[in-house]
Structure formats: C-alpha cells, structure tokens
Amino acid sequence: MHLYETHLPVADTERAARFYVDVIGLEFGYRDPGRDIVFVFVGAGRRSMLGLWGPTTTYGRDPHACHFAIAITLPELLAAGRRLNGLGIATRNFADDETTEPSVIGWMPSAQLYFRDPDGHSLEFITMLDDPPDLGFHGSLAAWQARRR
C-alpha cells in the first residue's frame, strides 16, 4: 500500500501545470476537458499522481473537502467495497453512484472505489491496470473487462 494521489486547489491550472512539469520535473498526465483540472504523474511508472484543481472546480459537494488516493492491489480493491460497507461506510464509483463494484477511468487506466472519512474528505482506493489506455472509457470494472474479451 502507498499513497497514490492527492489534489491541490490552484488559482490557475495552466500556470500550476507549467510549474510542476517544467520546474519540478513531473510528467504531464491529462487535462480533464469537462473540468478545470490537470493531472501530473510523480515519479516513474505512474506510481503517484497530483491533481491540480482550478478555482471554478470543486471536489464533490464541499469545496473545502480534500481528496487522496491509496494504491492497493486489485484483489484488495475487489474486497474493499464489501468490507467498508460492512463497517457502515458507503462506497461509490466515479459517477458517484453507491456501489461496491469499482469503476474504471480509461485514460489512466485505473480501477477505484471512493468513500468519505468522518470529516467528509474524499478517499479513494485505486489500482493501476496494466491494460492499454482508452481515453473515452468511464464505466464499471465489469464493463472494462468485458470489452477486452
């Protein structure tokens, strides 16, 4: 287990991305076309990621809530939803639907489940997938796996 991802609110995503890529030396990952967010990778092999959130974008319902992701194995991720639900903690997919099935973000690609801590902060269990990226895919892990068959 290791910290995979965290996010920072920034005043200007273009300026912040240039700083983190050109000055710090991180690798550009993705600019979300629907939200003012830029993702950059920290270190080799997509091992960690930083999200830069522009001023017009809030995370979830609370603009002050923070987010971070913890990388775990796929078997651990598949068991996490039932385990967390059993402890009274709701788990959600990327579309914010309550479920125990991980969702997949195709541009990375990764599988994940989201949940909240007692203070309302967004937490994520994430598994990086070895499959080739699919920029247009957002859906369930089952649908992701079915398209490979």
State the Cα–Cα distance between residues 35 and 91, nearest whole angstrom. Answer: 23
Kindly state whether residues 70 and 133 are assigned to the same domain.
Answer: yes
What are the Cα distances from residue 53, in Å, to 13, 37, 44, 73, 135? 7, 5, 22, 27, 20
Kindly state whether residues 30 and 67 are assigned to the same domain.
Answer: no
Kindly state whether residues 24 and 82 are assigned to the same domain.
Answer: no
Residue 89 has pLDDT above 60, yes or no: yes
Kindly state whether residues 10 and 53 are assigned to the same domain.
Answer: yes
- Strand-strand pairing, 122-128 and 67-71: parallel
Residue 73 has pLDDT above 80, yes or no: yes
What is the domain count for the chain?
2
The string of DSSP letters for 98-112 reads B-SSPEEETTTTEEE
Kindly state whether residues 28 and 75 are assigned to the same domain.
Answer: no
Q: Among 58-72, 100-114, 118-132, whose mean pLDDT is lowest? A: 58-72
State the Cα–Cα distance between residues 129 and 119, nearest whole angstrom. Answer: 30
- The pTM (predicted TM-score) of the whole model is 0.73
Kindly state whether residues 106 and 39 are assigned to the same domain.
Answer: no
pLDDT in tens, 7-38: 888 888 999 999 889 977 889 999 998 999 99
Radius of gyration, CA atoms only, the chain: 15
Strand order in the sheet with 103-105: 27-32, 37-42, 48-53, 2-9, 67-71, 122-128, 110-116, 103-105, 138-140
pLDDT given at position 80 = 94
| Short-list 84, 134, 82, 90, CA closest to 108 | 134
Q: Which domain holds residue 98?
A: 63-149
